[in-house]
Amino acid sequence: MEWGVMHLVNHGISDDLINRVKVAGETFFNLPIEEKEKYANDQASGKIAGYGSKLANNASGQLEWEDYFFHLIFPEDKRDMTIWPKTPSDYIPATCEYSVKLRSLATKILSVLSLGLGLEEGRLENEVGGMEELLLQKKINYYPKCPQPELALGVEAHTDVSALTFILHNMVPGLQLFYEGKWVTAKCVPNSIIMHIGDTIEILSNGKYKSILHRGLVNKEKVRISWAVFCEPPKEKIILKPLPETVSETEPPLFPPRTFAQHIQHKLFRKTQEALLSK
């Protein structure tokens, strides 16, 4: 409720599986560029899944500096296996196994968060689409060594639009959270999974759970890699708005009703407006 982000330990996902996921991701990014390009996405035509590279100035004039690989990993029937890397050979088995484990971890977290609001255990899970509709989107962020880290960011400051985000990393610090007016660097806790509350849960809880502003830094000496999985409600099927139980006369709804797609559009529009105003 205060930070909206935490280290999860004793999460029930084995160190061995987590290590396999990391090794597979790291091995992919170490492939020759022409191998990675076989999986290239095409942002212009709206195909965002696959391999991409980002080297662009953000609104504050800093350079965003990262390679990434983005694809849907759960539910199984919605996967597009044609864009999953064939090399290394363990990428597909490790990712499949991890997605199933992570999906059940998401259920546990949503249950705890429901109870924290005084709701029935399964309530938040149902509100974000349940087992059939909640999408798990995986994004591996690869931040090369950066000779002048003060001029670049891995990822600019943002809140996640998801319901929940789960993050693994290669123990190179770089995640920063904006808390009480200053940037705080998250500690690296071995074998933990970092979990963020996203906008979706902030909206449903009427602001009781926080979707905290955060950013990713680059490093001068070391490559930094993170494996983020965003748990997202379906784009059009659900109207996101504060649950009736979280609203009262003294606590009116803080968010207007929107679909997930409308929420994303609203954020993009606001970001564009802010960028134009700052010029």
pLDDT in tens, 133-145: 999 999 999 988 8
DSSP result, 57-110: E-TTSPEEEEEEEEEEEESGGG--GGGS--SSTTHHHHHHHHHHHHHHHHHHHH
Chain-centroid distance, C-alpha 181 = 23
Of the candidates 138, 169, 210, 214, the residue annotated as catalytic is 214
Question: Which pLDDT score, from 0 to 100, does residue 57 have?
Answer: 56
Of the candidates 7, 101, 158, 271, the residue annotated as catalytic is 158
Query: Quick check: 239 and 263 in contact, CB under 8 A?
Result: no
**pLDDT at residue 198 tops 80:** yes
pLDDT in tens, 201-229: 999 999 999 999 999 888 888 999 999 99
DSSP result, 167-180: EEE-S---EEEEET
Of the candidates 22, 36, 139, 196, the residue annotated as catalytic is 139
Mean pLDDT, all residues of the chain: 92
**pLDDT at residue 270 tops 90:** no
Phi, psi angle pair for 9, to nearest 5°: -120, 170
Of the candidates 11, 36, 71, 160, the residue annotated as catalytic is 160
DSSP bridge pairs for 229? 138, 166
For 147, other C-beta atoms within 10 Å of its C-beta total 9
Question: Which pLDDT score, from 0 to 100, does residue 155 have?
Answer: 77
**pLDDT at residue 60 tops 90:** no
Q: Is 158 a catalytic residue?
A: yes
Q: Is 7 a catalytic residue?
A: no
Q: Is 160 a catalytic residue?
A: yes
Q: Is 38 left (phi over 0), alpha (psi -120 to 50) or beta?
A: alpha
Q: Is 77 a catalytic residue?
A: no
pLDDT in tens, 80-91: 999 999 999 999
**pLDDT at residue 56 tops 60:** no
Q: Give the rounded percent of residues in the chain with a pLDDT score beyond 90.
A: 78
